[in-house]
Structure 1
């Protein structure tokens, strides 16, 4: 049982709960072929498999956690361009991608006051199941599911506290950091 390994393939170790990856070269190649819109839709579908609703701030933080714990280790770099902002990690790309998905009727965006809710449509679920799910390796979907479940179950305050504690470099510009990130210097 020998397997030829090409020189440019990467061997890394990635573990989240019971899912362990040792070889990420093929995963990296598969994921690099996918547009960020497909990956964001996958995160949304995995979120809505477990939870009923999501506000944009929470979804941004969960996407950030998926990026840090799943995509950065596999891709050896970021998928999206998160930066420190008023409420922790932020990227305009999420809003742009959600707008794109909304134009395709894959999601609905509903604003009420200062809160924005994301709603996954039946068409979004169908496109994921018929097309995107087949393109994303099953092990990556499982990793996304684990991270989404772990962080999606937290309420807003717990989630921000955890993100700020794990990634203090993204709390530096936050206007609410004192509320969520106590006792640690930046």
Structure 2
């Protein structure tokens, strides 16, 4: 399987509710990779996101590229909203096609475990203030706070 499974199972978790914000989605996928640990190599054939320490903690350019790909393939919807502060807020949700794709992947036991983890992470962190999520990630993984502007 490919690393695109991680954001897809996250977006599909808990009935396919949306995830607001690029930074939040980055942190949730990062936490999935950390929680999966060695199992990640088996699940994704060694194709992880190679997160680096960046402005708001763990960051992966490959994840942005994969999200663009998933949007272009019709597996997710990626909405952009102009904010009053001049920034853009991104919102991500799976499409029906994307949800069917995830269900097809769940025939694999490792994918089922990734989905279970995604449901737990999304339940715990998706409703949390972004600042609290970033603080939790920094507390648990201080190496990724090294280049932070936070």
- Same-fold call, TM cutoff 0.5: yes
Q: Which residue of 2 aligns with 1:160?
A: 134
Rg larger in structure: 1
Q: What SS does structure 2 have at the residue aligned with 1:175? A: coil
Q: Measure the CA separation in 2 of the matches of 1:51 and 1:108.
A: 12
Superposition RMSD in Å: 2.1
Q: Structure 1 stretches (4+) deviating beyond 3 angstroms?
A: 50-53, 75-78
Q: What SS does structure 2 have at the residue aligned with 1:80? A: coil
Q: What SS does structure 1 have at the residue aligned with 2:90? A: strand
Residues paired across the two proteins, number: 140
Correspondences of 1:1-186 after superposition (within 5 Å): 34-46=1-13, 48-49=14-15, 51-70=17-36, 72-75=37-40, 79-113=48-82, 114-129=88-103, 131-137=104-110, 138-176=112-150
Give the structure-1-normalised TM-score. Answer: 0.67
1:52 positional shift = 4.1
- Structure number with greater CO (CA < 8 Å, separation at least 6) is 2
Q: 1:55 to 1:124 in 2, by over 3 A?
A: same
Give the structure-2-normalised TM-score. Answer: 0.82
1:94 positional shift = 0.9
Which runs of 5 or more residues in structure 1 are unaligned?
A: 1-33, 177-186
